[in-house]
Amino acid sequence: MSESRINFLKDELNKYAYNYYVLDNPLVSDFEYDKLFSELKELEDKYPELITADSPTQRVGGLSSSFDEVKHKYRLYSLDNTYNYDELRKWYERVTKECGDNVELVCELKIDGLAIALRYENGIFVHGATRGDGISGEEITQNLKTIKAIPLKLFEKADIEVRGEIYMPVSSFEKLNKESEKPFANPRNAAAGSLRQLDSSVTAKRDLSMFTYTAIVEKAETMPKTHWDSLQYLKKIGFKTNPNIRLVKDIEGAVDFCKEWETKRFDLDYATDGVVIKVNSFAFQRELGFTSRAPKWATAFKFPPEEISTKLLNIEIGVGKTGAVTPVAILEPVLLAGSTVSRASLHNFDEIKRLDVRIGDRVLIKKAAEIIPKVIKVVDAPEHETLPVYKVPENCPECSSPLEEREGEVNLYCSNPKCPAVIRAKLEYWVSKEAMDIDFIGPSVISQLYSLGLVKSPVDFYKLKVEDFLKLDLVKEKSASNMYNSIQESRKRPLSRFITALSIRHVGKETADLITSEFTNLDELMNASSESLSNIEGIGEKIALSVYEFFHNSENIKLIEEFKTLGFAFENTVQYRTDELSGKTFVLTGTLQSMTRDEAGDKIKARGGKTSSSVSKKTSYVVAGDNPGSKLDKAQNLGVIILNEDEFLKLIGEADEKKY
């Protein structure tokens, strides 16, 4: 009676644990589980001879004095790895040379945790060990038993050895670090530290889990013939496997998988540092064999590192065109995700205070896709305490005026509306690609023109003569006339570019497009009431008020008058406003030959279409020029229509104009 009850309880509890920890699908409440667990514990205390290795009561930890070293029955090989797609292709070439064309591959996320080997006999977990050097490792069976995603008893009486990766979910890692006095550097270290505890009751308290990814099957009801089948088999007999796996026809399929996860990985609750690619067929695997250290039938693609530490040399203060004063981290140059980084964002002074960043600290910087690097934390080091706490400046670094706070904003602002740094920043914006797009005039030219008193306001650019540029350092005839011509050329920009260039608060390029499209000339826009502006689709009250106030400020009115005296007509000349592309969204990538991407965007908008900076299922077309970026890959993955430049020109009806 007791024995059958014990067996029943063991099976029930194991089933509940499996559903909870492996399938993420709890069947009973914690209370019900605990009740059955106590009943089992009581019975086992009464009849200790009935305690078996697969009993859930054996998951509770105990003390050991050291870990025994054990020799692995099957060696755990390392994997060759690369950061480079071409090397992946070369690896595949070697594979196909040996096995013929079209060798199927399995792609799996490489979990950044701790590799372990587990042994099951007759379906019962008998022992487990760390990877060690691959030939022998440390026996940590007791600790592994506390991890509930590791089955103590399989659904089949198989003899099998499996490999898996122990990991700590990122959310649990963050929680643990908040509670502990000595925080771990990353989830991997936290998992390792938790697993190698001599007191396994500590391990039991940590939220560890395991993904199983390799099976060496000695005895089973049906022997899997491919790696893909073996993953399905592992799942079937009770192991937790990673759901993000894919069977692909060839290496290009694997490359797609890698590219996809390079950015998607940040959404996962566990760390992954790459993709493992394996030849699917076991027969081919045997044919390919091993080198002295790694299998020839598998390789790993490593994601570029997105975080790295470096020394903070200084904190520079920048003054923007709005007068906002922002701190910039000046770093000892370091290679991050394929590019050298020497500056990073510190956001604002609150952030410096929050992170307690001090000049001289080692800081961790991070780069996510297409975002400028930012400082995310100070690396724990004894020097930190000896460095002076960073003091938020009280005065503008340029004009020494006091800095002021603005309601509802974290930034500090220079209180001087005539601050030279603000004026220069506005002039720099005036010439930028997004605004009037004036070539040959950069920050250093502007700085000189300003200090010589030649340009104090954007209108002054258009009063310059060729000889004025010759007064600048190192400027000769040729570049002087380039600068002059480039400025004159910018007179032809559409009205919306001019509105953008004015640096009206809350009005960027997109907003300027929206506003301008409603008026035939600048006078109409200047006379528009704040209400009529806010009636424009996409324009809120805040923007409307800002535009209204800008054009009712006497200095700005004077500025516009000056432009008119210089011959600016300010008619909205964007012609052929049609709706032939209405409802279509375009994404532009790479370099176009006949126009810039901004110009292409203007042409799309002039025909009622929209542009977006990222590819999604809703994208109608991706226009790809030379050296397109990852957007092209994404478009291919999503099956979005891809146009080359000629096809794009044909679509917008400009193909013929470009013929000689």
Question: Measured between alpha carbons, how far is residue 206 from residues 26, 127, 203, 359, 498 in Å?
Answer: 19, 20, 5, 36, 60
Nearer to Zn ion among residue 115 and residue 412 (C-beta): 412
**Alpha-carbon span 502 to 201, nearest angstrom:** 66
- Check residue 412 for interaction with Zn ion (CB under 5 A): no
Answer whether 624's CB lies under 8 Å from 644's CB. yes
- Check residue 445 for interaction with Zn ion (CB under 5 A): no
- Least distance in angstroms from the C-beta of 455 to Zn ion: 18
Tokens of 471: 């007064």
Verify whether residue 542 is a known catalytic residue.
no
Catalytic residue among 10, 46, 110, 463: 110
**Alpha-carbon span 655 to 660, nearest angstrom:** 11
- Least distance in angstroms from the C-beta of 404 to Zn ion: 11
Q: List phi, psi (to 5°) of 103.
A: -90, 120
What are the residues whose beta carbons fall under 8 Å from the beta carbon of 207, sequence distance 6 or more? 168, 169, 172, 176
Q: How many CB atoms lie within 10 A of CB 315?
A: 18
Strand-pairing partners, residue 82, are: 301
Judged by CB under 5 A, the stretch of 25-33, 276-284, 409-417, 540-548 that binds Zn ion is: 409-417
- Least distance in angstroms from the C-beta of 393 to Zn ion: 11
- Least distance in angstroms from the C-beta of 398 to Zn ion: 4
- Check residue 514 for interaction with Zn ion (CB under 5 A): no
Going along 379-500, which residue ranges are E strands? 403-405, 412-414
Strand-pairing partners, residue 621, are: 586, 641
Judged by CB under 5 A, the stretch of 143-151, 265-273, 411-419, 572-580 that binds Zn ion is: 411-419
Question: Measured between alpha carbons, how far is residue 334 from residues 364, 366, 367, 384 in Å?
Answer: 11, 12, 12, 20
Q: How many residues bind Zn ion, per CB under 5 A?
A: 7
Judged by CB under 5 A, the stretch of 16-24, 356-364, 413-421, 558-566 that binds Zn ion is: 413-421
Nearer to Zn ion among residue 324 and residue 624 (C-beta): 324
Judged by CB under 5 A, the stretch of 20-28, 108-116, 406-414, 541-549 that binds Zn ion is: 406-414
Nearer to Zn ion among residue 413 and residue 498 (C-beta): 413
Tokens of 395: 């005065």
**Alpha-carbon span 616 to 587, nearest angstrom:** 9
Binding Zn ion by CB under 5 A: which of 414, 425, 502, 623?
A: 414
Judged by CB under 5 A, the stretch of 147-155, 361-369, 416-424, 529-537 that binds Zn ion is: 416-424
- Least distance in angstroms from the C-beta of 401 to Zn ion: 5
Binding Zn ion by CB under 5 A: which of 346, 419, 522, 622?
A: 419
Nearer to Zn ion among residue 317 and residue 595 (C-beta): 317
- Check residue 507 for interaction with Zn ion (CB under 5 A): no
Nearer to Zn ion among residue 346 and residue 412 (C-beta): 412
Binding Zn ion by CB under 5 A: which of 396, 431, 543, 600?
A: 396
Give me Rg for the CA atoms of the chain: 33
The span from the first CA to the last CA of the chain, in angstroms, equals 96
Answer whether 319's CB lies under 8 Å from 443's CB. no
Judged by CB under 5 A, the stretch of 293-301, 307-315, 375-383, 396-404 that binds Zn ion is: 396-404
Nearer to Zn ion among residue 132 and residue 420 (C-beta): 420
**Alpha-carbon span 487 to 439, nearest angstrom:** 8
- Check residue 528 for interaction with Zn ion (CB under 5 A): no
Nearer to Zn ion among residue 254 and residue 324 (C-beta): 324
- Check residue 413 for interaction with Zn ion (CB under 5 A): no
- Check residue 324 for interaction with Zn ion (CB under 5 A): no
Judged by CB under 5 A, the stretch of 53-61, 86-94, 194-202, 393-401 that binds Zn ion is: 393-401
Angle CA 441–443–444, to nearest 5: 90
Nearer to Zn ion among residue 152 and residue 419 (C-beta): 419
Site for Zn ion in 6-65 (CB under 5 A): none
- Least distance in angstroms from the C-beta of 428 to Zn ion: 15
- Least distance in angstroms from the C-beta of 575 to Zn ion: 42
Answer whether 198's CB lies under 8 Å from 63's CB. yes
**Alpha-carbon span 655 to 650, nearest angstrom:** 5
Binding Zn ion by CB under 5 A: which of 294, 359, 399, 514?
A: 399
Answer whether 55's CB lies under 8 Å from 24's CB. no
Nearer to Zn ion among residue 170 and residue 399 (C-beta): 399
- Check residue 76 for interaction with Zn ion (CB under 5 A): no
Residue 500, Cβ density class (10 Å: 0-12 exposed, 13-18 middle, ≥19 buried): buried
**Alpha-carbon span 497 to 500, nearest angstrom:** 5
Answer whether 635's CB lies under 8 Å from 582's CB. no
* Residue/partner pairs of 551-554 with CB below 8 Å, 24 or more apart: 551/525, 551/526
Residues marked active site are found at: 110
Site residues for Zn ion per CB under 5 A: 396, 398-399, 401, 414, 416, 419
